[in-house]
Amino acid sequence: MYAYYFQLGLRSLRRNPMLTALMVMAIGFGVAASMTTYSVFRATARNPIPQKSSQLFIPQIDNWGPEDTEDGEPPVALTYKDAVALWRAHKAPRQTTIYPVAAAIVPDDASRLPMREDAYAVTGDFFPMFEVPFVYGRGWTAEEDEKHASVVVISRAVNDKVFNGADSTGKQINIDDHLYRIVGVTEDWNPSPRFYDLPNTGGFDDAAGLYMPFSRAIDLQKLTNGNNNCNSDPGDGWDNYIRSECVWIGLWVELPTKADATAYRQYLDGYTAEQKSAGRFRWANNTRLRNVTEWLDSQHVVPAESQISLLVSLGFLAICLVNTIGLLLAKFMKRAPEIGVRRALGASRKEIYLQFLLEAATVGLAGGVLGLALTGLGVLGVGLIFEPQIAELAHLDIELVLLTLLVAVGATILAAFYPTWRAAQVQPAWQLKSN
Amino acid sequence: MNQLAPIIATLRRHKVAAFLIGMEIALACAVLCNACFMVVSRIQAMQVHSGVDESSLAVVTLTGFDPAQASDLNARILDGLRRIPGVQSASVVNAVPFGQPAGNAGISLDPDGKHRAAVPHFYVGSPGAMEALGVKLVEGRRFSADDFHPMNSFVPDSPASVVVTRTLADHLWPDGKSLGKMFYVDRLSFRVIGVVEHLSRPTAGEEGPQSFDWSVLAAGTPGAKFAGSYLLRADPAQLSRVLREAKEAVATVAPDAVLDEENSQSISDLRTAYFRQDKAMAGMLVGIIVGMLMVTALGIVGLASFWVQQRRRQIGIRRAIGATRGDILRYFQTENFLIVSGGIAVGMVLAFFLNVMLMQRYEMPRMPFFYLPVGALALWSLGQLSVLAPALRAAATPPVVAMRSS
């Protein structure tokens, strides 16, 4: 019976080609616009580390006071002294300081030009904390952090460029005229959004090529390659700089349970209270301890463009659906005599419902197929609107294909409820009489 | 007027269909007004005056060099760049419009820094940079040799001579007397010696659209803290060749530094890249607007045709008892006008609330009032145009239809 109704549906599509084409186009356009913008929204709004996002936290301390902060929100990074003090306190099982540095790899072959790579200065905990996958070797140890060791972890891309993909662990590499021993090679690892460094990337950037020990980077007086914000002049020289109130370092802590997080929050407030009594802060305790999802939220990682275009295209879809309701109503009511005959011959209201809903689903499916083609085009065009780092995250995968068809069919059936109800209300006697 | 009564009576019998068209118009009105406003504000944002001769300027940026070698590097690069045929001027700058910002800092008008007055961007240029940029001086004087101070922080040593933009000067000193005035960033002090018409900052400011033009230009002597970005001026026709040769020259005279390709471009290319997203977003919104109007128009055509078909007999009767074709045509046009007007009334309210929501969530500015009547006018015309074909078909109904048995 379903197959028969489906066949009827297909036939009816052909009977009123004009109305049918209008509906299919409306649904196709509406669905394609929504799905294209949704593909971008999905890429930017995703959770980059779902298994641990509620256990990784980033502490913030208000070291500037209400004069220099906006809406009472503490700076997005820490000063050197705070980052190191919190790190040294070891109040979390795993923790890492982090800041971006620029590095140039100097090839052994003097005729080749140095290669610039984006790098991060981190501690050994960075790798297990963020579950960085390795091709060769491993991250460095806490001991190596303590010893300010000249070790480095490189990415697969750098390993391919410099060592042609061979296992390079144990080998030396020249970075900015200093030699480092390679301890590990990571897989192509680039979580998006880059939750662990939002202030400097906005969440989307090309993968980093190198990771070096924080203690070593500080020894070399490496400046941040990201944002450095000062509320007062730090004065001359490195020593003044790292003692200043300039913020440029991130700190991540892993707190496995709720109790750990509560304890850390207390510790953080205790630390600022201490600073306050030492005369450094002249304002009320103002700290934050956000987990990954809260942090992504607070830093507005999903671009406003993405949200607005999703909103506008959902509005467009709503218009298309209202339009479809009207057209389906016209299409179904045209067939009142036919319905009257069917009802008189013994079809129940339920059967009329079923037939017309299935017919609407056929229309929806046709619209979905058109929408899918248009979504494919739309996703290709995403690169025109969004930055390449975001655009490459938006693609037409099986999930999006199914969702497109589902939304098209679902929305059309939803739109068909009222017209179908009207069709089922047709009085057989009235139709038979008037003809 | 006596024609309205039967129309309203008919609409009462077709509440749902009329309501659906009205709803569609209402939603279209809300989206249309806001989307048009977004398109227009993006196009306006793209028109910003940088105040510099964009088509004659390019920037070359280097990284990865040893700060101890910076002074030597500056000399080598400037010499190398000036040797390129066609280069009119080469100088050291810390930033250029639409490039990477170098220093945004909060300034105050009192030495104690109690009251923050604005957060402008600080440009620093070596001798010749101001002339190369081509900024238009409207008050005061240009830099003289004594104004160039060495750099020990992100700006030249205090008290630094600076020129500011007209909009920034008007914001700081509304009485119009800005020449000779001082302002401060912490312990650093600045004296205004001139005012330029426009000089946009590299990236939009955070204090409203007018703050895009809040820039300070200071005079710095190249040195360890002032190196790596070089401004080139050449004839617009030769600029792309000059830039290409400049990149090659840099590789030979400074093999110890790494060229930052992304920040080594002509200012016009930087500008295009800066506004690329706005342009594409405006394009997408226009696409959605067109699609939406099309769908709405086709929807009206579809439903109106259905109505005409349904009422063929009644139309025939009206024609038979004396209604002219014009009467029938006007009937359907008036009916459409009534429905669309109802939709617009609701749509204006929706448009207003949508704008308020966008203002709260995305810091969009308030939509000027005139978008509402313009949107309404557009939808009225759309409605009349879409109903025209079905209405003409209705008017063509011969009176004899009334007499056929059916």
pLDDT tens digit string along B173-187?
Answer: 998 888 999 999 888
CA distance A329 to chain B (A): 8
Q: Write down the pLDDT at residue A435.
A: 47
Q: Write down the pLDDT at residue B165.
A: 94
The answer to whether residues B285 and B355 touch, using CB atoms and an 8 Å cutoff, is no
The answer to whether residues A252 and A96 touch, using CB atoms and an 8 Å cutoff, is yes
B1 pLDDT higher than 70: no
B207 pLDDT higher than 90: no
pLDDT tens digit string along B284-324?
Answer: 888 888 988 988 898 888 888 888 888 888 888 888 888 88
Backbone angles phi, psi at A102, to 5 degrees: -95, 140
A230-253: average pLDDT: 88
The residues with which A94 forms a beta bridge, in sequence order, are: A254
B37-42: average pLDDT: 89
Q: Write down the pLDDT at residue A295.
A: 93
Q: Write down the pLDDT at residue A385.
A: 66
Write out chain A residues lying below 8 Å of B305, CB-based: 330
B153 pLDDT higher than 90: no
Q: Amino acid identity, residue A306?
A: S
Is residue A220 less than 8 Å (CB to CB) from chain B?
A: no
CA distance A235 to chain B (A): 8
The answer to whether residues A124 and A141 touch, using CB atoms and an 8 Å cutoff, is yes
Facing residue for A19 by CB, picked from B23, B292, B302: B302
pLDDT, greater one: B402 or A11 = A11
Q: Which helix (H) or strand (E) holds B189?
A: strand B188-196
Which residues, 6+ apart, have CB-to-CB distance to A270 below 8 Å? none
Percent pLDDT > 70 in chain A is: 97
| Contact state of B258 with A312 under an 8 Å Cβ cutoff | no
Could you tell me which chain A residue has the CA closest to the CA of B299?
Answer: A323
Facing residue for B24 by CB, picked from A116, A308, A319: A319
CA B88/CA B235 separation, integer angstroms: 8
SS (H, E, C) A273-336: HHHHHCCCCCCCCCEEEEEHHHHHHHCCCCCHHHHHHHHHHHHHHHHHHHHHHHHHHHHHHCCH
Is residue A45 less than 8 Å (CB to CB) from chain B?
A: no
The model's confidence at residue A432, banded by pLDDT at 50, 70 and 90, is low
Could you tell me which chain B residue has the CA closest to the CA of A388?
Answer: B277
| Contact state of A113 with B152 under an 8 Å Cβ cutoff | no
- State the residue for tokens 């009937």: B331
Lowest mean pLDDT among A134-143, B74-83, B256-265: B256-265
| Contact state of A387 with B63 under an 8 Å Cβ cutoff | no
A199-211: average pLDDT: 87
| Contact state of B281 with A387 under an 8 Å Cβ cutoff | no
Lowest mean pLDDT among A212-216, A371-375, B154-158: B154-158
Burial class (CB within 10 angstroms; exposed 0-12, middle 13-18, buried 19+) of A401: middle
Q: Write down the pLDDT at residue B53.
A: 92
A340 pLDDT higher than 80: yes
Q: Write down the pLDDT at residue A330.
A: 84
Q: Write down the pLDDT at residue A422.
A: 86
